[in-house]
Amino acid sequence: MSSDKLVQFKDCRILRNHKIIKEDLWVRDGKIINPEKIFFDEKIKADSVIYCGNNIIAPGFIELQINGGYGYDFSFEEKTEEAISIVGKNLLSHGVTSYCPTIVTSPVDVYHKILPKFRKKQGGSHGATMLGVHVEGPFINVEKKGAHPANFIKSYEQGLATLEQVYGSLENVKIITLAPEFPNSGAVIKELAKKDIIVSLGHSTSNLSQGEEAVKSGATFITHLFNAMLPFHHRDPGLVGLLASENIPRSVYFGIISDGVHTHPAALRIAYRVHPKGLVLVTDAISALGLQDGEYKIGQLNVEVRENKAYIKGTDTFCGSIASMIECVKIFMEATGCSHEYALEAASLHPAEVLGMQNQKGTLEFGADADFIMLNDNFDIQSTWIAGECVFSK
């Protein structure tokens, strides 16, 4: 179908302005179109009509933290292009239309080899749109390393110069997870913010005061809340306390893994009720996503999946999820009792807001990219669309 053709999606319920409403969706040139201009100004009819069977149309999901899937790991220097191709393609069946491939703590030479290969790329039938890389480490606290190899963790004594030396280039980087409790963190965060790089706080022993200073310097996100950080304490709630802090200039967003393993349902409810506007669903999925129990890799570490849970091999330490985004949406909705609209926006609008792309993605407002999904009432993905093109159909 030619991109300049006017397409009307009929007999559907669309998620717009936080409500699911019975309304047609109009698409042309890869964008959501205001039908009033068509009726009153252009006075034309649709070139084609697609009947949706009363399915829900919602913005496509945006994944801010995914390490790999289907046997591939983004942090592994072999078969990088193949990993991008296979994972990006399979994400379409999960309702993901855009994503930030995530690279965990790695040797310096690995960053130099693979980061140039993760160029931003428009999505389509080949796979989801790549919005830039999320580098999770190596500037984290070894005490909260999780699945990150301790021997490659670094500090940033020389400020931004150290980051540029380690990564080789920041050109393809969109998000950096770092621990804010070390010297020079404020200066580093300010410099990254000037470059429009999202600073996320995580893998950290930071207290609340240090977290607040990081937000004042420009940090806007928290990596997988509750995981790899100090547990909540009533005298000093640590990074978790940022959700309710009154000493920061802006509200923070936070990723949360609702895979049924990483975060207890009660913890999901607490985060949702305390700061619903900042909640972003992430999968933190690893190479075992889409596969059975067995042994895999995440970055430089060996991983084993036992009973649908991923551990560092030979330990009981969790090291990422194997849940898809639509599974996380369903689990979150069941755990919190939130509305259908909210659960869908937590995986679409909220991550778009983190990236400052809320007028372009994560929404079905007029003028936005026509990236959307169709779901039935059980929230099963029926089809996925990027720029008005059907890129996956059940």
Would strands 56-59 and 48-51 be described as parallel, antiparallel, or unpaired? unpaired
Is 196 one of the catalytic residues?
no
For the annotated binding site for Zn(2+), the residues are 136, 203, 224
CA distances from 71 to 46, 67, 245, 287, 294 (A): 43, 11, 41, 5, 11
Residue with tokens 């409403």: 21
Query: Which of the following is catalytic: 259, 284, 369, 371?
Result: 284
Alpha-carbon torsion (212, 160, 129, 301), positive or negative: negative
Query: Binding site, residues?
Result: 136, 203, 224
Residue numbers annotated as active site: 284
